[in-house]
Structure 1
Amino acid sequence: MRIHLTNVFVDDQETALRFYTDVLGFAKKHDVPLGADRWLTVVSPEDPEGTELLLEPSGHPAVGPYRAALVADGIPAASFAVDDVRAEFERLRALGVRFTQEPVEMGTVTTAVLDDTCGNLVQIVHSK
């Protein structure tokens, strides 16, 4: 068994697609119209057949309070592995990405947390 698909709820799918592809560097995998919304997924360009991230519309009534509580408590909705957290932090900050947590070393891991501009906090992490 392996993870095939996971999701983040987003306020605007087009804005999310631009952020996750143009800024974070993911590649669009699926873009299927579903009424007013889309089945919109991205993948790592390093693993195009790997786990997909669904940029899911946040219209369900439970999503708003759920995401607000996570953001208020500083809890990321997703975590992405990178080779060098500090270098990725500098690259993303130069692109205007807002971080809620600068790089922090915690034992064998280094993490940083950013705002995805779509209602979520996202963690980048490197394990030694």
Structure 2
Amino acid sequence: MKIHLTSVFVDDQAKALRFYTDVLGFVKKHDVPLGADRWLTVVSPEDPDGTELLLEPSGHPAVQPYRTALVRDGIPAASFAVDDVRAEFDRLRGLGVRFTQEPVETGSVTTAVLDDTCGNLIQIVHSA
């Protein structure tokens, strides 16, 4: 068994697609119209057949309280592996990304947390 798909709830799918592709560097995998919304997934360019991230519309009534609580408590909705957290932090900050946690080293793990502009906190992580 392996993880095929996971999701983050987003306020605006078009805005999320721009952020996740143009800023974070993912590539669009699926874009299927579903009425007012889309089945919109992105993948890592390093693993185009790997786990897909669904940029899921946040219209369900349970989503807003859930996301608000996570953001208020500083809890990331997802975690993405990078080769070098500090270098990625510098690159993303240079692109105007807002971080809620600058790089922190805890033993062999370094993390930072960013705002995805679509209602979520996202952690970037590297394990030595």
TM-score surpassing 0.5?
yes
Amino acid of the residue matched to residue 16 of structure 1? A
Q: Distance in 1 between matches of 2:21 and 2:57?
A: 17
Structure 1 unaligned blocks of 5 or more: none
Partner of 1:107: 107
Structure 2 matches for 1:19-38, cutoff 5 A? 19-38=19-38
Q: What is the rounded CA distance, in whole Å, between the counterparts of 1:94 and 1:57 in structure 2?
A: 28
Query: Structure 2 stretches of 5 or more lacking a match?
Result: none
The amino acid across from 2:48 in the alignment is: P
Q: Which runs of 4+ in 1 moved over 2 A?
A: none
Give the CA RMSD over aligned residues: 0.2
- Give identity over the alignment, percent: 88
**Paired residues for 1:79-98 under 5 Å:** 79-98=79-98
2:43 corresponds to: 43
Q: Which amino acid aligns with 1:45?
A: P
Amino acid at match of 1:9: F
**CA offset at residue 108 of structure 1?**
1.0
User: How far does residue 17 in structure 1 lie from its aligned partner after superposition?
Assistant: 0.1
Equivalent residue number for residue 53 of structure 2: 53
Displacement of 1:22 in angstroms is: 0.1
TM-score for the superposition, normalised by structure 1? 1.00
Q: Deviation per CA, 1:2-45, whole angstroms, max 9, x where unpaired?
A: 00000000000000000000000000000000000000000000
Following the alignment from structure 1 to structure 2, what is the Cα–Cα distance between the partners of residues 123 and 73?
14
Name the TM-score, length of structure 2 as normaliser: 1.00
The aligned residue for residue 17 of structure 2 is 17
